[in-house]
Structure 1
């Protein structure tokens, strides 16, 4: 399902295959685990599905834990021969990272804020310096100390009070995204007794520096459904509920405008949004509705001066437009176009400054940054000169500046953080990502964008990167990555860990399938609901194109996707297993029908506009026709690695566990099938930066072993 996993830990995997005509490394004496079959009848719309592994959703059942542990043991034993290689890969990937790294400082309310890492440590250190970068460093948090005693640790939502004396923050030590908010006095170092549990982790201060607004989650479904007001020093039991989102297809959140004038409560579903506003200097006041929700009307708001600026799809603006409205009368009838709708340009965001505003756009799949002056004397685009890059507006908290901070990278170029003077058009590269180890030379790699033809004639873009000098002889190992849901777009981006594949002869390809917004909003609309299968067939057609063009062959083609991209993997191995030598499905959403019928599972009700509501028969039947778990059949499947986390709040662990159990029962091949459950983590895997590398190294070793690459 929807996930921050999208932006990739580049996982992969596999053992060997007879397809490659290479010596197998599988030990056939090791018996694969077999899950007990306990049939459960699931009936809907007079249709009965028999689920033999439904019992695996009993998280506290010792039999379930035993099965998962047996699968983990099988995984370890089947891959024991790669352990030394995994260790080497880990050190190789770690060796490219500048361990004592730090972020580019940004200034906010008189302080410079910095995130840095120390050599050999997994977690960040958050600090600040008053007024100048030469000032004494104040440590806000050393997360390496905070994480001691926890197998998982994540801190989010660091939020400084307006007088710079307090910081609110959220912590999760389970990996289920149920954050506990705490408050620290930055003058004395005291951690207040205020404990606010089961939140989203984020919060925002009112202008008085004593009133904190935050989002509460439902304890079972984990839906963000209520906004509370907390007074510093009070027991959280005294907190006042200021908003309750009763529609279970919506989530709610709270933040402060960049102008600092308004506290904003947002509510959103896949297709509809609504906002409420309250002056930040009146925290005990009543929130007023900005524009009442209307199904299909999406909008986001930014404030500046006496007006709000609204990014919206109103009035048929499929690719969105930007309108202006007076702050005292914000209803839709008063909206006035500032940036009109364009059929070929997707408007993604607006960033506001005192003299300028900046529009983030996407045209023909490529990021564009448009800079304009409020007085109309300037209107231009930042120049980018290739087809496989990613550029985006970065951290810009200051209204008064004429300097825009943005980031740029490409499939062959490490990331740069750039400060751009919007008046003089001069730029200063504040930081270039260092690739250590002494071996990386971007001139040794090349990238390109090609276009495959889908079965309905649609052209599907594919971004690729590889070392120079490859031949199109069908012998190159190629990893094809895809996602294709929620309109989330995987832009071509640089990865240091990916070099471990590229340097060993792999081609890496991103298939920009329908379901993303790579080619605009219509690209998304054509890959959801009753058109969801376009996502799967697009990916398959990209694979066929890459084979036809000689980049690879089915003996050397691999596919990878996570979360909703794991659904994509599940679909393609049912539909076209013969195309792939190996597939990795990370935290895969594969039991679509059963999950979408269970509104007690986190995120389910909010997903209806993406997948459809199976309580309606047409959506039920369509989901059933592609749901990977429901469509496992007696056929040959590629080598596969499936990963999950016991505490995953987005795709519950039992989906991949059930899927693997059913695949073991029905598949007719002797290819490798592994299930790896992280018993201590959730959707995003391990929390430490180096622990995450260990997971990637494990997966890469599988893939390289399958290609008979030993070092």
Structure 2
């Protein structure tokens, strides 16, 4: 079968002049997604992509079938106790979405035995089991469906949930009476992620975003009233500041943060008082990155504050709201006695889990996320004058795998135990309950996987040396039969932005690559957070190019170490990792046979120059402000993928996007692809695949997501000769 010619995109020159530089963009006209010509062009690109990849269909089908076969489709979560109920989730074979269920708790929540979850069996309902939200039923009338937040009142009688039916991440908030099962008549439109309920269940608190998708307004809604009567509690006018909210451990206060990646303001709101207003305790003008957890110490209301005033990896201090709010602006902030000292080798995560028994501290030690236990006795001792401790000296649950992740998933304030999720590269996720008095993990569940033997695979950590001498960690995953003999096809994955870490985690789809002899490498490059805060800072703003050169360093290391055949390497990255793909393929197209760029941020300079667009004003702390700073402008221009395309033998490139994505707009890859084709000196295809009903995460529904992953992996594997 003859492959048709790619769609011919018309050119409408649009000039942009900044800081003495003029860029002529021939494809900016594609930005109007309501333009019938734009939609027709995207459909033509999809048809071309279908034709180019038609011969990959058998491999796609095989990979999809493998994912489906390995996945236990009738799956369930471990019930979590809240009040008088056990809450859990079922996934059912043939259904795209989860089903949210609960059963009454038989015992008072006062003993350890009362926190032993009931055994849930797939397909077998428990006595008095209730389905309080069937996502499949809600999604049945929509081509796309995603939940943005869910909260149940303390007494279990009211459900608040937000839904997105288009993929643009603008949610509608609804309320449901869990006694009558009636959905209340009021609905709140264009809500951002998350929702919280007051302790008495009479009020809902939610955030709205502006036209640039920046969450900036906090609202209070009285249950049973019209949305027109809602009360505006707070508006953040600074376009560089995003708002986020969280509940205190005792659910009496709302902690409100507004800021960016480098500093934030913090406020507290009393949820027990319907007339309360947010109280500012750390102003944005202090330029301190901080997170606050209210707590009780010997009957006194206090605050545990994680902050970067002592160093980039954070410290934890003890103070009060009054002490913070009443400080002299001319003096540095005094956060009170230091409970956990700053450590160059240990990154303390923002946010602590406060319980009546102890404080749970999430810390990154030896590049692994871990949980450390801070006793209230230690808190009292430091409050009374003792020296603070190092996080590495605190006790915590221990696990055998040297490369693993541990995170707190439930820590009810008065519960005698807390729950963690354990992940590693080769072990499916496990859920452990850990009693406060005897911190020996109790395994509650390991995610079941069919047709999988962990002994068939290997995970190793290696280090690649960058040109400036920096040692860059790389995780190499492979089948046990693969040897570092220089003959293997390899796929390199990377992200490297926003201090997001690629931590150890199990993935069923990845097994389909490993089983075919493909080495899967994860490049832990600068710009991420794997090695602490400085690792992030050395891969952002005017140091952003370290992210790209680190990825190429890792790619070369895989070849030199024998893990990869230099002529059979593919790469994959999404969003900011898609920018990474665009940058490295411009820098060194000869190193790759295939590229998979998911929702790629490839026209980054154009986006950041427009403060009204998503990923713009709020992103200046990540990339710099090219509007006002000529140095930032020219630096970004020197790596922005769309503006640095050159005559080259580009590898096979697939750009995958979604029409309704509000984070990285479809127009970026839509412009990038025809520009790449114009400069392609080789014969490898360059395609654009647009999900017409999806958002930033692609299509909704697990089966559709499996099909997407099968498409991605088949694209890479085909061009690697597998």
TM-score, length-normalised on structure 1? Answer: 0.93
CA 1:707/1:576 → structure 2, altered by over 3 Å: closer, same or farther?
Answer: closer
* Residues 180 and 201 in structure 1, CA contact (< 8 A), matched pair in contact too: no
Cα distance in 2 between the residues matched to 1:466 and 1:632:
33
CA 1:203/1:354 → structure 2, altered by over 3 Å: closer, same or farther?
Answer: same
- Aligned pairs for 1:288-437 within 5 A: 288-294=279-285, 296-305=287-296, 306-314=301-309, 316-331=310-325, 332-348=333-349, 349-376=351-378, 379-396=394-411, 398-436=412-450
Matched, 1:472 2:484: yes
Structure 1 residue 411 displacement after superposition: 1.2
Matched, 1:102 2:104: no
Structure 1 residue 350 displacement after superposition: 2.0
Comparing 289-298 and 594-603, the one that deviates more: 289-298
Comparing 290-299 and 647-656, the one that deviates more: 290-299
* Residues 227 and 253 in structure 1, CA contact (< 8 A), matched pair in contact too: no
Cα distance in 1 between the residues matched to 2:619 and 2:680:
31
Deviations 1:307-355 (CA, angstroms, capped at 9, x unpaired): 11111112x3210011111244334425221111111110114222112
Structure 1 residue 270 displacement after superposition: 1.8
Aligned counterpart, 1:592: 604
* Residues 169 and 201 in structure 1, CA contact (< 8 A), matched pair in contact too: no
Cα distance in 1 between the residues matched to 2:244 and 2:545:
32
* Residues 250 and 267 in structure 1, CA contact (< 8 A), matched pair in contact too: yes
* Residues 373 and 379 in structure 1, CA contact (< 8 A), matched pair in contact too: no
Aligned counterpart, 1:606: 618
Aligned counterpart, 1:271: 262
Structure 1 residue 103 displacement after superposition: 0.7
TM-score, length-normalised on structure 2? Answer: 0.92
Matched, 1:632 2:612: no
Aligned counterpart, 1:3: none
Structure 1 residue 529 displacement after superposition: 0.3
Counterpart of 2:364 in 1: which secondary structure? strand
CA 1:471/1:285 → structure 2, altered by over 3 Å: closer, same or farther?
Answer: closer
Cα distance in 2 between the residues matched to 1:327 and 1:61:
52
Aligned counterpart, 1:683: 696
Aligned counterpart, 1:202: 194
Size of the aligned set, in residue pairs, is 678
Which of 528, 531, 534 aligns to 1:519? It is 531
Aligned-pair Cα RMSD in Å: 1.6
Which of 442, 447, 450 aligns to 2:454? It is 442
CA 1:72/1:421 → structure 2, altered by over 3 Å: closer, same or farther?
Answer: same
CA 1:162/1:382 → structure 2, altered by over 3 Å: closer, same or farther?
Answer: closer
* Residues 271 and 298 in structure 1, CA contact (< 8 A), matched pair in contact too: yes
Q: RCO greater where, 1 or 2, for CA within 8 Å and sep 6 or more?
A: 1
* Residues 500 and 528 in structure 2, CA contact (< 8 A), matched pair in contact too: yes
Cα distance in 1 between the residues matched to 2:592 and 2:394:
48
Structure 1 residue 260 displacement after superposition: 1.5
* Residues 369 and 405 in structure 2, CA contact (< 8 A), matched pair in contact too: yes
Structure 1 residue 152 displacement after superposition: 0.3
Which of 233, 243, 247 aligns to 2:224? It is 233
Aligned counterpart, 1:19: none
Aligned counterpart, 1:141: 133
- Aligned pairs for 1:181-196 within 5 A: 181-196=173-188
Which of 32, 39, 62 aligns to 2:6? It is 32
Matched, 1:118 2:110: no
Cα distance in 1 between the residues matched to 2:244 and 2:218:
7
Comparing 350-359 and 114-123, the one that deviates more: 350-359
Matched, 1:648 2:648: no
Counterpart of 2:509 in 1: which secondary structure? coil
Counterpart of 2:233 in 1: which secondary structure? strand
Cα distance in 1 between the residues matched to 2:694 and 2:320:
47
Matched, 1:48 2:22: yes
* Residues 203 and 255 in structure 1, CA contact (< 8 A), matched pair in contact too: no
Which of 168, 175, 195 aligns to 1:176? It is 168
Aligned counterpart, 1:660: 673
Comparing 414-423 and 47-56, the one that deviates more: 414-423
Cα distance in 2 between the residues matched to 1:500 and 1:299:
42
CA 1:554/1:34 → structure 2, altered by over 3 Å: closer, same or farther?
Answer: farther
Cα distance in 2 between the residues matched to 1:407 and 1:446:
22
Structure 1 residue 422 displacement after superposition: 3.1
* Residues 203 and 213 in structure 1, CA contact (< 8 A), matched pair in contact too: yes
Cα distance in 1 between the residues matched to 2:439 and 2:279:
41
- Aligned pairs for 1:84-103 within 5 A: 84-103=58-77
CA 1:42/1:379 → structure 2, altered by over 3 Å: closer, same or farther?
Answer: closer
Comparing 262-271 and 236-245, the one that deviates more: 262-271
Structure 1 residue 135 displacement after superposition: 4.6
Deviations 1:120-169 (CA, angstroms, capped at 9, x unpaired): 10111111112144651121111111001211001231111233211111
Structure 1 residue 274 displacement after superposition: 1.3
Matched, 1:242 2:242: no
Cα distance in 2 between the residues matched to 1:674 and 1:200:
33
Matched, 1:674 2:690: no
* Residues 556 and 580 in structure 1, CA contact (< 8 A), matched pair in contact too: yes
Comparing 253-262 and 625-634, the one that deviates more: 253-262
Counterpart of 1:194 in 2: which secondary structure? strand
* Residues 216 and 235 in structure 2, CA contact (< 8 A), matched pair in contact too: yes
Counterpart of 1:309 in 2: which secondary structure? strand
Cα distance in 2 between the residues matched to 1:611 and 1:703:
30
Counterpart of 2:95 in 1: which secondary structure? coil
Counterpart of 2:284 in 1: which secondary structure? coil
Counterpart of 1:450 in 2: which secondary structure? strand
Structure 1 residue 29 displacement after superposition: 4.4
Structure 1 residue 400 displacement after superposition: 1.6
* Residues 181 and 201 in structure 1, CA contact (< 8 A), matched pair in contact too: no
Cα distance in 2 between the residues matched to 1:34 and 1:295:
53
Matched, 1:698 2:699: no
Deviations 1:442-473 (CA, angstroms, capped at 9, x unpaired): 11111110000001111000011111132222
